[in-house]
Amino acid sequence: MTEEERNITKHCKKCKRTYPLSSFYNDKSTSDGKQRYCKFCMKEYQREGFNKYSKKTILQLLCKDDMTLEKVRLFYGILV
């Protein structure tokens, strides 16, 4: 990595902080070739998504009295 590449930074759209480009995952569809969220925010986003759709979470929802299978399908947009 050259000295010029180390000085290039990017602003994370989620946490509103500025990081070097090495703190962002690659994304070929963007003009700068990096994702809009930093690696730290992406890991948190992925962790939240995993927890939201985990079997344990869905089973806990289904155990509630007012929750039906149809409500879970509509809320999560998945087939259970």
Q: Give per-residue pLDDT as tens, 41-80.
A: 999 888 877 766 677 777 777 788 777 777 777 777 766 5
User: Model pTM?
Assistant: 0.57
- Residue 32 CB neighbour total at 10 angstroms: 11
Adjacent-strand bridge partners of 9: 20
Q: What is the pLDDT of residue 23?
A: 93
Q: What is the pLDDT of residue 45?
A: 85
- CA–CA separation, 16 and 4 (whole Å): 23
- pLDDT tens track for 7-20: 689 999 999 999 99
Please report, for the chain, the start and end positions of each structural domain, with discontinuous segments joined by +: 3-76
- CA–CA separation, 76 and 65 (whole Å): 18
